[in-house]
Structures are given as C-alpha cells and as structure tokens.
Amino acid sequence: MNIYSKNSEILFLYDAKMTNPNGDPDDENKPRMDYEKEINLVSDVRLKRYIRDYLESKNYEIFVTKIDGETVDATERLKRLLGKDKLTNLTKEDVDIILSRLIDVRLFGATMPIKAQEGEKGASSTFTGPVQFTWGYSLNKVELVRSSSLTSTFAGRDQAGKGEYGTFGKDWRLYYSLISFYGIISGYRAKYTRLTEEDVKLLDDVLLRAIPQMASTRSKVGQKPRFLLRVEYKTPDIFLGDMRGKIHLDKEEGLRDISDFELDLCELKEFFGQNQEKIEKIYIFEDPELRIKNGSFKEQIKNVFDNKLQDIV
C-alpha cells in the first residue's frame, strides 16, 4: 500500500446546459446564485455527492449512504460496518476497518458521532480528509430560463368533478453555465486517512465519469466534464493556490453552448512556467469540443513539461 505523500491541486471544469446544477432548497430550488455577479454557484457537497454515488455504483463501500434502502444515523452505520451490537467508542482495530473499507473517508474524511448508551457518555471521532474542494462557480454570467412554469395533468376527479386535473410547479434551469472547481490533496493529511496513490488516480477517473453518469435525473441531465488538471508537486509543503483566477473566457455573457466561447489559459501557462521546478507531474484531460486559445493546453506546455505530462482518460 503506497500512501500518497505529495500535494496536488485540482482545476476542474464542467458545463451545464438547460439544467439546474445545484438547486437551493431555501429559494424555491432555484439554481444557487451570486446575484451581484450574476454567476452560478455549486457547493462542494454537491460535487462530493456525485463522486460518492458513482463510487457506490461501482461497488465501493462508502460511509455516507443508506443501508438496505434505509436512512440510518452514524452510530447505526458504524455498528453494522463493524459487526457490533454495542458501540461506545472506536478502537484501533475499528479505525483500521473503517479506513481500509470506506473510500469516501479516505478521500474526504468524516465526523462520526457515537450516541451515548444508557448510563454512559457519547463519543465522536473525526477524520480530516486530505481531499477538499471549494465551492464551484461559473466563469460566465448565467441566465435563468425565462419560463419556469411546469404543468402536469393527472387522471382522476378535480373539485369540479371533471375527469382530469392539472398541477403547476416551477422547473428552474439555466441556459448555460461553465462551472469551475478548485481542489487540493494534502500529502500531510493523506497519512492519517491512509489515502493511497491508487485512490488519487481513482479520483482523477471518477471526476470525469461521475457527473455524466450520476446526474441522470430530469433536472440534472445536460452536464459534461470539459477540462481537468491535477498538478502534483515535488514536496508536501507546496501549494500554489487557486488556479481559477488565471483562466478567462473571451466572452462571458449570452452563452448558450460550448461553441460560443474560447477558453484563455495563457496566464495559467505562464504561471506554470514560473513554477516548473516545483512541479512533479501534470495530469490533464481536455474535451475535444472545448475551444482553447492557441490550441490544446497540453501541446502549449509540452516543451516545458513533456516528461511530466500524463493524460487522464
């Protein structure tokens, strides 16, 4: 087992067309927004849910899940995982089982409260995850679809005694949003959750596969990964910071499709060049439909990073 020992930073872009990337339950389930900047927001919890759901669909065990279709609390989840009728705290052997079996705990960490038994104190264990994402936001200004009314007709009797009746609701969607996420992987924290190099490569793969496969509900269909970079550094004390400020669109308003803009990565290329001695490897995915200024970013940085570039496929 090779514990991941370096630091990585992640830049992940995906787009959402005629869909609701992340509804806000406190605002009629409208897409989350920064109304002053007119940009779309997506929580890190939403992204992690896609990842967890995909991993579970591939038969990986995760902590944050239902058991046999039943929603259970953390204590009951741990009891079933560990095969115990009673649980008051976590032993070293328990921790070994948790970290060896639960991929989402190794990635994202977890807080595991244990309910107090009669006459005893409760307990709690916290695992701080080495993989963390900020909230995502759109690089373009977004617009809500102008008509959000949804009408459904059902068989039956309405109050007037007629054979069909209708209901009205809201179906909030955006015309187009190019969503950007920044994330980190901490080599220092990886040793505490026993995150392996294989787990990190799995995360690369899952970021490209989770959204198209798990965003399959009516309001979520229409999202696709477009660009992924994971920059791995030579030592576990290096983080260069959020890369989203170094990428730009040539057009930020009125977008309806990926063909409506060009992504400018010139500043990011210059930034990588200035820090090339700190970089161990760059893992990269580019969707062929994404138009990048001056062509493929991989080709733009190939002369400097040729032996450090690796495709994510």
Identify the pLDDT of residue 160: 57
- pLDDT tens readout for residues 7-43: 999 999 999 999 999 999 999 899 999 999 999 999 9
Alpha helices by DSSP H, listed for the chain, are 44-57, 74-82, 92-101, 103-108, 187-193, 197-214, 266-274, 297-305
- pLDDT tens readout for residues 34-79: 999 999 999 999 999 999 999 999 999 999 887 767 777 888 899 9
With respect to residue 12, please indicate whether it lies within any of the assigned structural domains.
yes
Which residues does residue 123 pair with via DSSP β-bridges, in sequence order? 114
With respect to residue 154, please indicate whether it lies within any of the assigned structural domains.
no
With respect to residue 273, please indicate whether it lies within any of the assigned structural domains.
yes
With respect to residue 158, please indicate whether it lies within any of the assigned structural domains.
no
* Cα dist from 68 to 26, 65, 82, whole Å: 30, 10, 16
With respect to residue 141, please indicate whether it lies within any of the assigned structural domains.
yes
Q: In the structure encoding, which two tokens stand for residue 9, read together?
A: 């930073």
Q: Are strands 248-249 and 223-233 parallel, antiparallel or unpaired?
A: unpaired
With respect to residue 51, please indicate whether it lies within any of the assigned structural domains.
yes
Indicate the number of domains in the chain. Answer: 1
Identify the pLDDT of residue 168: 52
With respect to residue 79, please indicate whether it lies within any of the assigned structural domains.
yes
Least Cα distance to 180 among 44, 53, 299 occurs for 44
Mean pLDDT of 251-266: 98
At 152, the pLDDT band (50, 70, 90 cuts) reads: very low
With respect to residue 162, please indicate whether it lies within any of the assigned structural domains.
no
- pLDDT tens readout for residues 94-139: 999 999 999 999 999 999 988 776 666 667 889 999 999 999 999 9
Identify the pLDDT of residue 153: 45
Q: What is the pTM of this model?
A: 0.91
* Cα dist from 10 to 103, 106, 132, 244, 284, whole Å: 19, 17, 10, 10, 10
Tell me the residue range of the domain where 16 lies. 8-149+171-311
- Name the percent of the chain lying above pLDDT 90: 77
- Locus of tokens 């264990």: 125
- pLDDT tens readout for residues 270-310: 999 999 999 999 999 999 999 999 999 999 999 999 999 99
